[in-house]
Amino acid sequence: MKKAIIFGVTGQDGSYLADFLLKKKYSVHGIKRKSSSFNTERVNHIFEKKNFYLHYGDVTDSSTVQNLINLIKPDEIYNLAAQSHVAVSFKIPEYTANTVALGSLRILEAIRSSNLRKKIKFYQAGSSEMFGKVQQIPQTEKTPFYPRSPYAVSKVFAHWITINYREAYKIFACNGILFNHESPRRGETFVTRKISLALSKIKLGLQRKLLVGNLNAKRDWGHAKDYVEAQWLILQQKKPNDYVISTGENHSVKEFIDLSAKFLNIKLRWKGKGIKTKAYDQKGNCIIECSKKYYRPTEVDTLLGSSLKAKKDLNWKPKIKFNQLVKEMVNSDYMNLKKNYVKKKR
C-alpha cells in the first residue's frame, strides 16, 4: 500500500486529492493546522475511513514537518498548503511568503535531510499567478514569469527551489503550474464561489446585493476534481518534470456572473462602465455593484494556459467543461441554502 502525505488536506484540493488517493487504495496522511474553530468540514466525509489519518502540523514549523515525514515515511508528498488568497497576500505579505515560499523549502529540506531522499516523490502546487502580467499567450512551461502579488512572488520562489532540489540532490520533485480550478468546495472568498453563493442567496431573498471588483479580469477556469488527478499523474512519471495544467479557454468574471444568473433564472440588465457598472434584476432592483475594496494594487488581467505537454506525457485533459462547472457550483449552493432555509423556517 502506497503512503501519501497531503499538506493542506483541509483545503479544496487537499480534500479532493484525499478522496482520489483513497480510491486508489493509498494510505492517506493529511496534515491540518491548529485552528480555534473547525477547519475539517471538507474532509468530514472521510474522517472515519480506514486508511485516512489526520495529523496536526504547520508548514511554518520545520521540526514538525521533519518529524511527520520521518514518522510516516511516505512514498509521495503533496504540498498544497498555502495562504492561497492573492488579495489577502497584499495585506499579510510576510506570512504569505512564510507559508508559500519557505513552507515548500522546509518540506524539501526535511526530505533532503532524511534517509528517504531517494524514495519520496514531491509535488509542489504551483500557480498560473506566476505568469502574472503575461509575457506570452497562451502560457506554457516555457513562458517567463512576471508575478504581480506577494503570493505569486512566493510561488515563484517555491517553483525554483523545487527545481533546485531536484537538480542539486536528485530528489523526485515536480511543479504543477495549475490555472484556476473551482468546485462546490471552493473557498467562499474566491470570486467564483462568492458569485455562486451570493446569487443563490439573492434568488432565495436572503441577500440584497453582491459587491465585486474587476469584472473584466479573465481566468482559465477548470474543475478541481480534474486537476487533482493531474497532480497524481505528475508523480507517476518515470522522470520528475514540470507541467502546466489548464483548460485552454478563458472567461471574464462578468461572464461567470451572467452564466450563474442564467442557471438561477435571474434576468440581468447591465448598466454603466468600469467601477460604475451595475446589474439590475427583472424587478429593477440593483443586485450587483462594483467596489474599489475588491480591486488589487496590481491586477492579473488575463490568464490562458496551454496543457499540450500534460496531454502528451500524462495523457491528461480536463473532462469537465466551463458550463458544467458553473452549473454544479450554482446548483450546489442553491440547493444547500434552500434546504437549510426551509429547515430553519420550520
CB 57 to ligand G4F: min, Å? 20
Coil, helix or strand at residue 177 = strand
Q: List residues bridging with 20 in a β-sheet.
A: none
CB 247 to ligand G4F: min, Å? 12
Q: Where does this chain touch ligand G4F (CB under 6 A) — which range of 71-79, 106-114, 124-132, 241-249?
A: 124-132
Question: Which one, 79 or 192, has the nearer CB to ligand G4F?
Answer: 192
Helices (H) and strands (E) in the chain, counts: 11, 15
- Please tell me the distance from the alpha carbon of residue 231 to that of residue 13, in angstroms, as a whole number: 10
* CB 262, CB 323: distance < 8 Å: no
CA 151 remoteness from chain centre: 13
CA distances from 299 to 86, 91, 216, 284 (A): 10, 15, 11, 32
Is residue 97 part of the contact set for ligand NAP (CB under 6 A)? Answer: no
Is residue 129 part of the contact set for ligand G4F (CB under 6 A)? Answer: yes
Is residue 58 part of the contact set for ligand NAP (CB under 6 A)? Answer: yes
- Half-sphere exposure of 62 toward its Cβ, with a 13 Å CA cutoff? 12
Is residue 35 part of the contact set for ligand NAP (CB under 6 A)? Answer: yes
Is residue 177 part of the contact set for ligand G4F (CB under 6 A)? Answer: no
For the chain, what is the largest distance between any 2 Cα atoms, rounded to a whole number of angstroms?
A: 67
- Please tell me the distance from the alpha carbon of residue 159 to that of residue 315, in angstroms, as a whole number: 23
Is residue 213 part of the contact set for ligand NAP (CB under 6 A)? Answer: no
Question: Which one, 98 or 277, has the nearer CB to ligand NAP?
Answer: 98
Is residue 125 part of the contact set for ligand NAP (CB under 6 A)? Answer: yes
H-state helical runs in 221-290: 224-235, 253-263
Query: Would strands 27-32 and 52-56 be described as parallel, antiparallel, or unpaired?
Result: parallel
- Please tell me the distance from the alpha carbon of residue 217 to that of residue 312, in angstroms, as a whole number: 30
In the numeric block, the cell 523526485 is attached to 172
Q: Where does this chain touch ligand NAP (CB under 6 A) — which range of 58-66, 208-216, 310-318, 321-329?
A: 58-66
Task: List the one residue from 299, 313, 317, 331 that touches ligand G4F (CB under 6 A).
Answer: 299
* CB 305, CB 143: distance < 8 Å: no
Residue 270 partner contact from ligand NAP, ligand G4F, none using kind-dependent CB cut-offs of 5 to 8 Å = none
Task: List the one residue from 64, 89, 96, 99 that touches ligand NAP (CB under 6 A).
Answer: 99
Residue 214 partner contact from ligand NAP, ligand G4F, none using kind-dependent CB cut-offs of 5 to 8 Å = ligand G4F
CB 241 to ligand G4F: min, Å? 20
Is residue 194 part of the contact set for ligand G4F (CB under 6 A)? Answer: yes
Neighbouring C-beta atoms of residue 302, cutoff 10 Å = 17
Residue facing ligand NAP at closest CB distance: 11
Residues contacting residue 332 through CB under 8 Å, at least 6 positions apart: 184, 196
Is residue 171 part of the contact set for ligand G4F (CB under 6 A)? Answer: no
Q: Which residues bind ligand NAP (CB under 6 A)?
A: 7-8, 10-14, 33, 35, 39, 58-60, 80-84, 99, 125, 127, 178, 180-181, 187
Q: Which residues bind ligand G4F (CB under 6 A)?
A: 84, 86-87, 127-129, 179-180, 189-192, 194, 212-214, 217, 219, 253, 294, 296, 299-300, 303
